[in-house]
């Protein structure tokens, strides 16, 4: 189709990426649903839906951790469609574990996917968008990109980093017609929860870890969060609204839980919010003991 807008979504095998790819394709975008490994087991669910619904959706391989894979995928897309209008940086995972129980290798892997993976994709597509004088870059962070909880320091570190980078580059890219959009969901019902990794030392040292009680508290809190999680299609709808807006906001908070937490953070002092979070996760300070 002449002039049809082209969207690229990373991490499309499940969850937010899966639903976003389908939502964009259903709303007129020629969509490249990318995933780290294109295997029938992973690609079949989305390709079956695309085929049954006659969607203009194509699955291609793109590993955000690999320079060559990113460049090859973006080159293929530009060769085929001559443009890229929307990129959704969604690939990511969470690494649980206390700071002292997490190895440098595990920490680097977390940042490699969540932060540097998004940077790789952006560096590949910014020149394309700059030359066409338009484009929207959507970075999926989290309410965890603005508010942190215990035993997730490197997940939060990677998401805070992506938030800061996004806020900075909006100024350098806006003169070229490129908009930066941050999507900050709360708890989302997807494979994200099943794919949470735990630092090896934290797993092997449990229950003798000095953080075992906190880990138990966090496990109970996560169970409550999952029960109230929104469907990833709700996030996809917000992404669609953002990328089809002529003047999108920088940040979109998604989900009642995220909205409530953000409001509390905005209206409370640091100490008040800290006390709220400690109560939420059953944390006693050394002064209280």
Query: Domain for residue 35, yes or no?
Result: yes
Euclidean distance between CA atoms 98 and 200, whole angstroms: 11
Query: Domain for residue 192, yes or no?
Result: yes
E strands, the chain, are 6-9, 30-35, 57-61, 86-89, 95-96, 135-140, 178-185, 197-198, 251-254
pLDDT of residue 280: 86
Query: Domain for residue 183, yes or no?
Result: yes
Query: Domain for residue 20, yes or no?
Result: yes
pLDDT at 2 over 70: no
Query: Domain for residue 273, yes or no?
Result: no
Domain CATH number, residue 144:
3.40.50.720
The total number of structural domains in the chain stands at 1
pLDDT of residue 289: 43
**pTM to 2 decimals?**
0.93
- Residue partners of 238: CB distance under 8 A and separation at least 6: 183, 252, 254
**By residue range, what is the domain housing residue 163?**
6-255
pLDDT at 284 over 80: no
Query: Domain for residue 289, yes or no?
Result: no
Query: Domain for residue 239, yes or no?
Result: yes
Query: Domain for residue 204, yes or no?
Result: yes
Condensed to tens digits (0 to 9), the pLDDT of residues 115-156 reads: 999 999 999 999 999 999 999 999 999 999 999 999 999 999
pLDDT of residue 286: 59
pLDDT confidence band for 285 (50 / 70 / 90): low
For strand 251-254 and strand 197-198, is the pairing parallel, antiparallel, or unpaired? unpaired
Please give the span between the terminal C-alpha atoms of the chain, in angstroms, as a whole number: 67
């Amino acid at each position: 189709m002449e002039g049809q807008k082209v969207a690229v979504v990373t991490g499309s095998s499940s969850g937010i990426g899966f639903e976003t790819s389908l939502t964009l394709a259903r709303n007129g975008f020629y969509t490249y649903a990318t995933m780290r490994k294109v295997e029938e087991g992973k690609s079949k669910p989305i390709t079956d839906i695309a085929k049954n619904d006659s969607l203009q959706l194509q699955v291609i391989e793109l590993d955000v951790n690999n320079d060559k894979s990113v460049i090859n995928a973006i080159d293929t897309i530009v060769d085929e469609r001559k443009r890229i209008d929307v990129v959704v940086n969604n690939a990511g995972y969470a690494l649980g574990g206390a700071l002292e129980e997490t190895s440098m290798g595990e920490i680097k892997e977390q940042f490699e996917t969540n932060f540097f993976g998004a940077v790789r994709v952006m560096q590949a597509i910014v020149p394309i968008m700059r030359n066409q004088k338009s484009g929207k870059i959507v970075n999926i962070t989290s309410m965890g990109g603005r508010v942190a909880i215990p035993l997730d320091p490197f997940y939060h570190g990677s998401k805070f980093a992506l938030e800061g980078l996004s806020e900075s580059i909006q100024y350098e890219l806006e003169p070229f017609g490129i908009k930066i959009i941050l999507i900050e969901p709360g708890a989302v019902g997807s494979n994200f929860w099943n794919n949470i990794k735990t630092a090896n030392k934290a797993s092997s040292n449990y229950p003798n870890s000095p953080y075992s009680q906190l880990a138990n508290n966090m496990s109970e809190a996560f169970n409550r969060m999952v029960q109230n999680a929104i469907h990833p299609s709700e996030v996809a709808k917000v992404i669609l609204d953002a990328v089809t807006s002529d003047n999108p906001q920088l940040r979109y908070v998604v989900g009642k839980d995220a909205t409530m937490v953000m409001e509390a953070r905005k209206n409370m002092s640091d100490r008040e919010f800290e006390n709220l979070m400690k109560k939420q996760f059953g944390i006693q300070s050394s002064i209280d003991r």
